[in-house]
Amino acid sequence: MTNNLFLRVVILIGFSIGSVLHGSLVAASEKAILDPNARFHPVVSNSGMVVSQEMIASQVGADILSRGGNAIDAAVATGFALAVTLPRAGNIGGGGFMLVHLAAENKTIAIDYREMAPASAYKDMFLDAEGDVDNLRARFSIHSSGVPGTVAGLIHALDNYGTLSLKQVLQPAIDLARNGFAVSVDLSESLLARKQTLQNDPASKGYFYKADGSGYQPGEILAQPDLAKTLGRIADKGRAGFYQGRTADLLMAQMQRNGGLMSLQDLANYQVVERTPVCGDYRHNRVCAMPPPSSGGVHMIQMLNILEGWDLRSLGHNSAAYLHRLVESMRRAYADRSQYLGDPDFFPVPVAQLTDKKYAALLRGQIDLQHASRSEDIRPGLSQSTLGSALGSESSETTHFSTWDQWGNVVSNTYTLNFSYGSGISVAGAGFLLNNEMDDFSAKPGAPNGYGLVGGEANAIQPGKRPLSSMTPTIMFNRADEPILATGSPGGSTIITIVMQMILNIVDFDMSVAEATAAARIHHQWLPDSVFYESGISVDTLRLLREMGHQLDDKTGVLGSTQSIQRLGVESPQREEIEAPQREEIESPQRLGVESPQRPVIKSILYGTADYRRAGSGVAIQRQSPKD
């Protein structure tokens, strides 16, 4: 490096660390990311970081980073720890999606470990004698459980992209289950809220309540010895420790006691699938998210494509004009979701067409900027077909976590049991809850699922099929193709719009990740024809939206719980003029594993924020920098 180049880099660091990046180097006069006048501030680290909905699990992941593990090691450790400390959503009996970015290869991978329908499942399995949906059977019976994918998915990620052994990353979760941990206010209250459902199942009652049936108070110790044994079998035998042997036998015994459909063959046949992420460009940033059977990536990018045609910043954040454009974009994307999205292994999903910018321009041109559309007048847009059925949705009791290591590897992971505590049924002797993801299928075209939403043929129940999901683990890259944001959220059908608003807040409104997290959110999903909104939206703005014809829901509560990490640093001066369309034509020295003499190594700064909407969430940072 020449002296002049070194001086230039030093100057750039001094002026731009902590400034918001829009995919290119910003001027010193732009807003600092650590604005002392801001109301919300992120946690800062110059090494690695883990953000999750439960602080103990975040610390488990950060400790793995401190021991020299990478972001994938930390993610797997965090995922197993959440199965102990956040039982309503963290799990080994459910499934989910993981987005992994590998810095050395400059490669991003989507790992699909969504649950699958058992081989004995059939289309009308939740219909009663009159042909109506039996909601109790679909949501709170042994039949509501799909074949779990979490254990296979986490092990797949570790085996292929981690650096530590399965025993190393599982030991913290085993210790937490065996020795117990102090119950948080959040866990105590959630167990109290779900007491009636959980105590209907003898195993769940024994695992989560005291002998007399009373709940655990904050600060009391909850130990889970059966879960510790199950985790120990996984640590010793890997995938076979869950899908075969003692744990599988206990699961089959539970199925037989309750007349379930899942078989040993279903467990043996479960497959993790690596898919290509869905990516799109938004204002010189590349946004990558989960492809089908998640609807999240497709429709988030579709909405961003529509919104990119307007100068959103000039409208003002959460102004009526801005929110009107968001709602109308959401309305059209969710109409498309109702007809075109399902498991791509069973249904041809038109991903390219839905994410095409020309299609977005067509939809944008249909939006009246002064008046709200009526959802009943909006059709799925690719074919302009007749009004179809609305979407299915998983529970708001999903959970997300993000990990980032000192080498630039990134994980964005969302997984779930569906409803809070899944079906409420635990596997006796094994210590874990069963999911109720079968309710995410369309039990009957036109019939509502657990959230008042209905589905169509694309998401009908079939053996071996994965139910449609809204989970949207996301990684955003700058124009130099470097990761700058990892985020995601629970929230069922609201997940897609929540994650999109995080991106808009950061890219269009120069917010830090903390401010972007704290900002009030809205949601619309075509049907029902209501706009959901959090407190913090101006009364005047709400009045203007009503005057435009929007139907507002006054009882929304909070929307989601994002767990996000933002990276800021200095881009290489030699690459600052790279435009997004040229990205694939450039072979970065990093991709070849060779350090470029023209590209100085500059330490990145990580900024993490756990969402304030869920008690107990937290950011944990790597406590030391292990030697390479």
Cα–Cα dist 126/147, whole Å: 17
Q: For residue 294, which of 360, 353, 334, 344 has the smallest C-alpha distance?
A: 344
Cα–Cα dist 436/81, whole Å: 21
Indicate the average pLDDT of the chain: 87
Q: For residue 551, which of 526, 525, 530, 580 has the smallest C-alpha distance?
A: 530
List the 95-102 sheet strands across, edge first.
Answer: 273-275, 107-113, 95-102, 410-416, 399-404, 49-52, 618-621
Instruction: Report pLDDT digits (tens) over 45-104.
Output: 999 999 999 999 999 999 999 999 999 999 999 999 999 999 999 999 999 999 999 999
CA 328, chain centre distance (Å): 23
Element (H, E) at 301: helix 296-307
Beta bridge partners of 322: none
Helix, strand or coil for residue 570? coil
* CA 515 to each of CA 174, 298, 564, 593: distance values in angstroms, whole numbers, following the listed order: 36, 26, 12, 36
pLDDT tier at 395, thresholds 50, 70, 90: low
Question: Crossing angle for the helix pair 225-237 and 71-85, nearest 10 degrees?
Answer: 150
If one compares 387 and 317, the residue with the highest pLDDT of the two is 317
Cα–Cα dist 572/596, whole Å: 10
pLDDT tier at 585, thresholds 50, 70, 90: very low
Q: For residue 185, which of 92, 366, 55, 321 has the smallest C-alpha distance?
A: 55
The mean pLDDT value for 256-261 works out to 93
Q: For residue 67, which of 169, 195, 181, 188 has the smallest C-alpha distance?
A: 169
For residue 40, what are its two tokens? Answer: 């919300």
Backbone angle region of 245, left / alpha / beta, with phi > 0 → left and psi within -120 to 50 → alpha: left
Number of neighbouring beta carbons within 10 Å of residue 508:
21
Instruction: Report pLDDT digits (tens) over 282-309.
Output: 999 999 999 999 999 999 999 999 999 9
Can the peptide bond before residue 528 be classed as cis, meaning omega within 30 degrees of 0? yes
Checking if the pLDDT of 21 tops 80, the result is no
| Predicted structure pTM score | 0.89
How does 275-284 read in b/e, with b if 16+ C-beta sit within 10 Å? bebbbbbbbe
Active site residue 398: yes
Burial of 368 (0-12, 13-18, 19+ CB in 10 A): exposed
Count of CA atoms in the C-beta half-sphere (13 A) of 453: 29
Q: Which segment of 235-249, 279-293, 535-549, 598-612 scores lowest on mean pLDDT?
A: 598-612
The pLDDT, as a whole number, for residue 396 is 65
The pLDDT, as a whole number, for residue 468 is 94
If one compares 145 and 444, the residue with the highest pLDDT of the two is 145
Percentages of the chain per state (helix, strand, coil), in multiples of 5: 35, 15, 45
The pLDDT, as a whole number, for residue 447 is 56
pLDDT tier at 458, thresholds 50, 70, 90: confident
Checking if the pLDDT of 582 tops 80, the result is no
The pLDDT, as a whole number, for residue 187 is 98
Q: Which segment of 384-388, 397-401, 517-521, 624-628 scores lowest on mean pLDDT?
A: 384-388
Catalytic residue, candidates 108, 398, 403, 609: 398
Cα–Cα dist 409/585, whole Å: 23
pLDDT tier at 387, thresholds 50, 70, 90: very low
Checking if the pLDDT of 348 tops 80, the result is yes
Cα–Cα dist 147/138, whole Å: 15
For 352-452, where are the E strands, in sequence order?
399-404, 410-416
Give the residue extent of every domain in the chain.
Answer: 69-94+113-275+416-459
Checking if the pLDDT of 570 tops 50, the result is no
